[in-house]
Amino acid sequence: MPFHVEPLDRLENMLTAENLHRWSEQLQEVAVAVSLPKIDLDVKHELQKHLQQLGLVEAVDKSKADFSGITGKKDLHISNFLHATAFEITTGGNPFDENVFGREELKTPKLFYADHPFIFLVQDKKTNSILLIGRLLKPNDGRHDEL
């Protein structure tokens, strides 16, 4: 967690695979009570134009696309790419577990209020693949859990 509020554009410019790997290696386990705003995101992006700019051209061109290995016919092409994400943080949380919450180090945790713009990511623990990355610009608009 940062000690000071940093402009998001500065942090976004630093988001590289190398930096994320280095930062994750420096993480330490510390007892922290975190107050996050309630988040409910439902985002959709059409990606065809962007993927064409990256060189994916033939698959979306009716006259050049060849997916005959899938259907046995050459009448198949990709008409659009749609990326959709649904992400929600609520106050429900996990049920109280004495084995987790009864530990001594959790009795006096540090407090962190996410009350300023921040970047978040969801990462698969086994593969370290980033599944989702986003930013919340107005966290004060949502309700927070009380610590």
pLDDT per position as a tens digit, 104-139 = 777 778 888 888 888 899 999 899 889 888 888 887
pTM of the model: 0.66
pLDDT at 142: 56
Residues contacting 10, CB < 8 A, separation 6+: none
In this prediction, residue 143 has a pLDDT band, given cuts at 50, 70 and 90, of low
Domain count, the chain: 2
The rounded Cα 68 to chain-centroid distance in angstroms is: 36
Residue-wise pLDDT tens digits, 10-66: 889 999 999 999 998 998 888 888 888 888 889 999 998 898 899 989 998 889 999
pLDDT at 30: 84
pLDDT at 32: 84
pLDDT at 147: 54
Residue where a domain terminates, one of 82, 109, 134: 82
pLDDT at 81: 92
The token pair at 131 is 């599944």
Residue range(s) defining the domain that contains residue 33:
1-38+90-147
Residues 146 and 94 in one domain: yes
Residues 113 and 139 in one domain: yes
Residues 27 and 70 in one domain: no
Q: Which letter does DSSP use for residue 38 in this model?
A: -
pLDDT at 15: 92
SS3 104: helix
pLDDT at 99: 62
Residue-wise pLDDT tens digits, 69-104: 998 888 888 888 999 999 888 776 666 566 666 677
Which of these, 135, 120, 137, 136, lies nearest to 20 by C-alpha position? 120
pLDDT at 13: 93
Residues 34 and 50 in one domain: no
Residues 134 and 102 in one domain: yes
Residues 32 and 96 in one domain: yes
